[in-house]
Amino acid sequence: MLKGVDPLLSGELLKILDDMGHGDQLALVDRNFPAHSSGRPVVRLGEVSIIRAARAILSVFPLDSFQSHPLERMEVEDDPHRTTDVQDELLALASSQEGRPLEYGVIPRLDFYERVRGTYAVVHTLDPVPYGCFVMHKGVVFD
């Protein structure tokens, strides 16, 4: 047991997050995403929401401050301006955790599948929310 670490962050997930370097990308996906077919290491979190998973990850994972869009989301129904409630909530959470306003990068739905093949790992939840798929770019810890 570790003190002060979110219990959702298993040893396996903590090791992956720690092993990642600046600029590496992590995919956080919903239950409908074909995580294993991506060919990347997959950490299954089970029946937790995307927001709960993001809160735990962002408690230890710095987003890249050198990029204009260190957080990307899957495009909703071929409309880059449309968002879901969960996408809006995750952006607000990430901005709060980072202490700076963030804007999403938007990845077209079909391109998202290919993009995940280039990530370091995939964190898979069983959240049923549609378009609950994100890519986070790891940043640098300055302090």
Catalytic residues: 22
Rounded Cα–Cα distance for residues 134 and 143 (Å) = 26
Closest CA to 50 of 22, 69, 31, 23: 31
Q: What span, in angstroms and rounded, lies between the C-alpha atoms of 104 and 89?
A: 12
